[in-house]
Amino acid sequence: MAVMNVNPTRMELTNLKKKLVTARRGHKLLKDKRDELMRRFLELVRENKALRQKVEAGIKAANVHMAVARSVMSDEALEVALMMPAQRMSVDVTEKNIMSVMVPVFKTRVKAANDGEIYSYGYAFTSCDLDDAVQALSDIMPDMLRLAEVEKTCQLLASEIEKTRRRVNALEHVMIPQYEDTIKYITMKLDENERSATTRLMKVKDMMLKQTHHYQ
Amino acid sequence: MYKIAAIGDRDSVSGFASIGLEVHPVLDAKTAQQQLRRMSEEKYAVVFLTEQLASMLGEELDRYRDAAVPAVILIPGVVGNTGEGMRSISRSVEQAVGSDILK
């Protein structure tokens, strides 16, 4: 029994009862928050896994093409071919609120010299495997950014869930029992005081009767 | 306007240059760490990092888990998939649920 260090008074009792009500309500709210966060999290983490598998497979395929290109072209030629990209990619970041967790939302912005042109080189001095590699990477890029978004969201949600879970547990297993025990302790103490006051009064009454009327 | 970067060995990341990412060929953990710290202060939204470098960086990466940007995303490099990226998802699940329930 974990009784807090308080004076067993009526005022303290009223305060504690109020605190207990607040703690119970907070506990319920946080529990709901945790459950909803968990639901969202599990949905996202499944998507995260699927996306990651897809992206890893895509990068692997691109790397295979790249390795072939590297073997048939000289390093310098390859560097030169990739030196001046045909497009610049950047993202706009906005924030989305999931259960008061701010998660980023990425919106891709592509600045290309020519529309749809992803090859930064003429075709004369490069291997066609390089084209395949660039094409593969360009195809997988939207998924990679989506993966970045989802994975970050998952990480943020995970740490929020951890925090909320701790709060819920602290309320459920520490705060609320402590309040309940203390309230019980104060109630018992007050009842005890009341009983002792009654017996004292009865005793005093007996003594007074004995003194005035000489009752036995 | 946030930038996207890729950090890793030259063979793994040079392809990303062609589609418009900022590419930083890096070989050792120390340089990678410096680059990451610089990027976390500047406007970078996504940093793709090869798993090989990530395994060398270790706990350094945990610094970026709780910040909204940059999102540090692990990608397999040319030497193959080490599974580090999948493990980072499992870590999230473990942190949230208490154990990895999606094995």
pLDDT band at A115 (very low <50, low <70, confident <90, very high): low
Q: Could you tell me if residue A190 is inside a domain?
A: yes
The radius of gyration computed from the CA coordinates of chain A, to the nearest angstrom, equals: 36
> A10-72 and B10-18 are packed helices; what angle lies between their axes, rounded to 10 degrees?
90
Give A 121-160 residues with CB within 8 A of chain B.
133-134, 137-138, 141, 144-145, 147-149, 151-152, 154-159
- Facing A155 at nearest CB: one of B2, B18, B92: B92
Q: What is the mean pLDDT of chain A?
A: 89
CATH of region B3-97 = 3.40.50.10580
Model pLDDT for residues A163-208, shown as the tens digit of each residue: 999 999 999 999 999 999 999 999 999 999 999 999 999 999 999 9
Q: Could you tell me if residue A135 is inside a domain?
A: yes
Residue A1 has pLDDT above 80, yes or no: no
CA nearest neighbour of B100 among A52, A150, A49, A169:
A49
Domain count along chain A: 1
How many CB contacts within 8 angstroms connect chain A with chain B? 145
pLDDT band at A113 (very low <50, low <70, confident <90, very high): low
Model pLDDT for residues A24-63, shown as the tens digit of each residue: 999 999 999 999 999 999 999 999 999 999 999 999 888 8
Q: Which of A16-20, A132-136, B43-47, B68-72 has the highest mean pLDDT?
A: A16-20
Q: Could you tell me if residue A188 is inside a domain?
A: yes
* ipTM of model over 0.85: yes
**CA B103, CA B95: separation in Å to the nearest integer?**
14
| Residue B12 tokens, joined | 């793994």
* Domain assignment of residue A154, given as a range: 10-206
Model pLDDT, residue A15:
95
Residue in chain B nearest A81 by alpha carbon: B18
| pTM, entire model | 0.86
- Facing B18 at nearest CB: one of A93, A134, A158: A134
- Higher-confidence residue: B47 or B100? B47
Contact B15 A137 (CB under 8 A): yes
Give mean pLDDT, residues B45-55. Answer: 89
Contact A81, A125 (CB under 8 A): yes
CATH code, domain with A18: 1.10.287.3240
Contact A171, A29 (CB under 8 A): no
* Plot region of B20 (φ>0 → left; ψ -120 to 50 → alpha; else → beta): left
Domain residues of chain B, as ranges? 3-97
Model pLDDT, residue B103:
63
Contact B5, B21 (CB under 8 A): yes
| Amino acid sitting at position A140 | I
pLDDT band at A116 (very low <50, low <70, confident <90, very high): low
Q: Could you tell me if residue A145 is inside a domain?
A: yes
| Residue B14 tokens, joined | 């040079």
